[in-house]
Amino acid sequence: MEQLTSVASWRAFARDARDRGATVGLVPTMGALHEGHVSLMERAQRDCDVVIATVFVNPRQFNDPEDLRRYPRPLSDDLARCAALSIDAVATPSTEEMWPAYPGATATTISVSGLSDDFEGAGRPGHFDGVASVVAKLFTITGPCVAYFGEKDFQQLAVVRQMVSDLAFDVTVIGCSIVRESSGLALSSRNVRLSDEGRVVATGFSRALQLVNDGTPRDADAVRRDARAVLYDAGIDVAYADVVEPATLRRRRADEEGESRLLLAGFVDGVRLLDNGTVRVHAAKGATNVVGH
């Protein structure tokens, strides 16, 4: 396994692989690797000849300096995990290598309007500009590839797909299913900051998803209401619980029906956690077009 610490070596590694006729898989991460990341890497290994994982904590997507400071960075463990998986290369650039002007502003920013405006975009101003900008840079350095992202960050996945389409990146984006603990808690690098009690509280997210998929017909407003109630009862400080059309993230009205996505976010032990899942909504008779948030 090669560790690539510079943009030049990373670009050359990917280019040389393609020159040999190999397909390149890219797995972008911010480290603190868990089984969810492992599932992305294993999928990339099945699909592609050469796999590059990235470990880079991108400061431009954090709007809270304390959150950035506390983000886990177990690089040695991450490298060992990648080596055990026989990943071909891990790109571990420094902040200075990726953003030479940091902590000053970088002149160029990628902004994906619409998809990035609500939910995490509303709660974390500038977050998706930072995400889109760094992912664009990852794609530019790597070149033509297949990129793997987890569906836990569902809005992020939608933003990346839109950016790839709009800017014609030669990149195929693959979304991979959420990996969960036996308790139902979605795996996240932030989970290490939860207390034992907090981990129990956080299972409220998966319980909310189970409830709205219990076979009882619900319109979009009922799904929102019932999911939010489960989160509150669990002790989660709810940021949002909303039902959207999966591709556009447009909020579903109560008079609509069909496959939708329930997006959940909230705070446990002061840690912002996300979850989501598929839900089928049924049109309510006589429903208004007013959608709650």
91-95-99-101 Cα dihedral, nearest 10 degrees: -160
pLDDT band of 286, cuts 50, 70, 90 = low
Closest CA to 48 of 19, 79, 17, 78: 17
- Among candidate residues 37, 127, 282, 293, the one labeled active-site is 37
pLDDT band with cut points at 50, 70 and 90 for residue 290? very low
Q: What does the pLDDT read at residue 288?
A: 52
Give residue 280's pLDDT band: very low, low, confident or very high (50, 70, 90). very high
Query: What pLDDT, on a 0 to 100 scale, did the predictor assign at position 292?
Result: 45
65 CB contacts (<8 Å, ≥6 apart)?
Answer: none
26-42 mean pLDDT? 97
Angle at 27 between CA 25 and CA 36, to 5 degrees: 125
The pLDDT confidence band at residue 285, using thresholds 50, 70 and 90, is confident
Task: Write down how long the chain is.
Answer: 293
Return the sign of the alpha-carbon dihedral for residues 172, 177, 141, 133.
positive
Our answer to whether residue 127 is catalytic in this structure is no
pLDDT at 14: 98
Contact 228, 236 (CB under 8 A): no
List, in order of start, the domains of the chain with CATH numbers: 2-176 (3.40.50.620), 189-277 (3.30.1300.10)
